Structure 1
Amino acid sequence: MAMVLGVDAGGTSTRAAVLSLEGEVMGRGLAGCGNPMAAGARVAFGNLRTAVEQALCVVDRSSIKGGVVGLAGSGLLREPSAMAAFAAVFSDLPVVPRAAGDVVVTFAAGTSAADGTVLVSGTGAIAARIIDRAQGRLADGYGWLLGDEGSGFWLGRAAARVAVRELNAGTPGLLTRLVTGHLLPSSPPVMPRPPGDSATPALSHLPPGDSATPALSDLPPGDSATPALSDLLPGDSAGAAHRDATGPGRVDQVGELVDRIAATVQSRPPLALAELAPLVSRAAADGDPAALSIVEAAAVRLARTASEVREPLDRSPIVLAGSVLTSGGPVQQAVRELLGRRWAAAPITVAKDGAGAAAWLAALDLLGPARAAALHSRFVG
């Protein structure tokens, strides 16, 4: 039986799958980071080998007729030494899988179309134009220092900022309580905000000119269309009023709590803030004003990133990917609304199994476009 190998090698994990040409899964493997730019070629390709060996352990290797590896950092393979190390992973296979950009495989995990747009929001955020199943123009993906707007990291940092400001103001909402409980699990529960107190503005109270979901056509270059986090958070006057009303003892307790949160955040790797992203979704689903504001601001940023690689009248598919946009929470819902408003005729789908999508791309070369399209859902789940 002819089989194909697919690998989705990302910054967090490497997933491998062996499938028949009919889309039946014959083996799977899982290992750590497969991005050679992030982990180094030795570690990344070691993880690649581990995942592939697991997937092949019960398979006749001579039956592998093709393969695709979706590789974050695939540009490194332009270096002969890196390409040699990559090929060595597959030295006992009859074929060396071809490397494809990770965004190409991610796009194929959501559609069988050859052209379209993929918008990714996981720990980081990026949008890519896909043309004939190859990577075209990119937007964002600049990392947490320079970009990744609307990503899990961005959401988590915004949540931490809300927490320290609301605690300092004496008006902790649900999001602040969730963040505090996550970062300081041994601390006593934070008392909720008094009924009717809204220190952090709801979406309807954003600064003038900042509608909750502005049309993308109204977005000028830069950041002005999206409310800055400083505009969404209580100012120092709220904290001053709270300090006047509560006295020095309470202020000392609050100050100690804020200091502990700040110290905890700063003692960990910056990208660990992405762990707080699900708390934003949870609090937004329960109507927390600060969380809702963060969700809407993230959605605007992500939709704007997509608009940088996509023409206004484009009807090709849009694939949503990454943990923030595949979880079905309020961020995905808000992004869908914005994208649907701008590109009403475009289908919007959610990426599924990346390793299966890589295997489908390999099978495409053997099956032809029509047969492969008919089997796409069997490969990606």
Structure 2
Amino acid sequence: MSLVLGVDAGGTSSRAVVATLDGQVLGRGRAGCGNPAACPPVEAFLQVGRAVEEALAAAGRGGVRAAVIGLAGIEGLPEGLAAHFPVPPRVVGDVVVAFAAGTPAASGTALISGTGAIAAKIIDHEIAATADGHGWQLGDEGSGFWIGRQAARSAVRGTPGSLTAAVLKHLGVGEPEMVAVAVQAAPPLALAELAPLVSRAAEEGDPEAVKIVERAAGLLVRTFREVHAPGTPVVLAGSVLTSEGPVRRAVRDLLPDCAPVVAGRGEDAAAWLAARSLAPRTPHQDFLPDTWGVSRT
């Protein structure tokens, strides 16, 4: 029996799946940060390996005939990564996997907002152009990090409302003045953990949270428009946009003519791309039924 392996290596987690050529899942694995742009490469590749081994534990290595890994900012197969795979994987951009997680189309636009943020024009399942994706220090506008930083900035100023109260509680401090101390004691990207607090506070009507949500959506759509070709499919991906909530709604409201769809699991899309290398007519629905309105059982 021929098997395929798909991996989505993100800044927060790495996820792997082993499946048959008709999309039957035989094993899944999950581990920590697998993006060498977000954590040290040695640690990233170790985490990817753990996810792969967990997925292979139930399926075995012998039947794997093709593998695809979605990875940001890397072309070619890094030396430290190959040893974790039963066959040499094809490395594609994480945005390519994200786009494939929402549509069988070969070309269109992916808009991602997770820990970071980027928009990409995809042509024939390859990256043709990108906007933003410059990292938390220089860009990633509208990302989970950006949203969390706005929440922390609001809280340190003592802005009245439920958002400030939620930030203080999350950080374990009693006064706004202590927010800076708590934030500076943690890794910078930990600010992304505050993004869900903004969504909840916005749903409750907190004015500051609503303002942050609106700004985030506006920045994401501005990034999107830098690369989007009108009339082509649009896929929303990343934890901020795949989660039902005010940011996704605000982005959709700003894109009334684009009919964006929400991405499914990136690792399943990577497995579909791997299957297509063996059987080009492999149906997208076999690997990502949820995006077609078909429930998994």
2:267 paired residue number: 355
Q: For residue 337 of structure 1, what is the aligned residue in structure 2?
A: 253
Match of 2:202 among 254, 261, 284: 284
Q: Which residue of 1 aligns with 2:166?
A: 178
**What is the 5 A alignment of 1:1-381?**
1-75=1-75, 77=76, 83-90=78-85, 93=86, 95-167=87-159, 172-184=160-172, 187=174, 257-311=175-229, 314-340=230-256, 344=257, 346-369=258-281, 371-378=282-289
* Of 36-45 and 325-334, the range deviating more from structure 2: 36-45
> For residues 187 and 78 of structure 2, what CA distance do their matches in structure 1 show?
31
Cα offset, 1:4, TM superposition: 0.6
Letter in 1 for 2:193: E
Q: Is the partner of 2:106 in helix, strand or coil?
A: coil
Give per-residue Cα distances to partners, 1:345-366, cap 9 Å, x unaligned. Answer: x331111111111000011122
Give yes or no for contact 2:156–2:178 (8 Å, CA) kept in 1.
no
- C-alpha distance in 1 between matches for 2:152 and 2:261: 31
The answer to whether the 8 A contact 1:357-1:379 is kept is: no
Q: 8 Å contact 2:93–2:127 — kept in the other structure? A: yes
Unmatched 5+ stretches in structure 1:
188-256
Q: Deviations over 1:75-110 (max 9, x none)?
A: 3x4xxxx644333222xx3x3221111111111111
TM-score (ref. length: structure 2): 0.92
Alpha-carbon separation, structure 2, partners of 1:161 and 1:45:
34
Deviation, 1:373, is: 3.3
Which string of whole-angstrom CA distances, capped at 9 and with x for unpartnered residues, describes residues 2-44 of structure 1?
A: 2111011122221110011111110111222222344344322
Cα contact 1:11–1:72 (8 A) shared by 2: no
Distance 2:289 2:276 in 1: 13
Deviates most, 260-269 or 114-123: 260-269
Distance 1:315 1:376 in 2: 25
For 2:78 and 2:209, the matched residues in 1 are separated by 45
1:376 deviates by 4.2
* Larger proportion of helix: 1
Q: Which amino acid aligns with 1:266?
A: Q
- In 2, the alpha carbon distance for the partners of 1:347 and 1:176 equals 34
Match of 1:245 in 2: none
Is the contact between residue 298 and residue 331 of structure 1 (CA under 8 Å) also seen in structure 2?
A: yes
Please tell me whether the aligned partners of residues 356 and 379 of structure 1 are also in contact (alpha carbons under 8 angstroms).
Answer: no
Alignment size in residue pairs: 292
Letter in 1 for 2:166: L
> Do the aligned residues in 1 keep the contact of 2:45 with 2:80 (CA within 8 Å)?
yes
Q: Note the C-alpha offset of 1:379.
A: 8.5
Shift of residue 66 of structure 1?
1.2
Secondary structure of the residue that 2:58 maps to in structure 1?
coil
Aligned with 2:23: secondary structure? coil
- The 10-residue stretch of structure 1 (154-163 or 127-136) with the greater mean CA deviation from structure 2: 154-163
Are residues 297 and 37 of structure 1, via their aligned partners in 2, closer, same or farther at CA, if it must alter by over 3 Å? closer
> Is the contact between residue 115 and residue 132 of structure 1 (CA under 8 Å) also seen in structure 2?
yes
- Distance in 2 between the 1:286 and 1:147 partners? 28
Tell me, in whole angstroms, the C-alpha distance in 2 between the residues paired with 1:336 and 1:355: 25
Q: CA RMSD in A?
A: 1.9
37 and 161 in structure 1: CA distance in 2 versus 1, 3 angstrom threshold: closer
Question: Contact between 1:5 and 1:64, CA under 8 Å: does it hold in 2?
Answer: yes
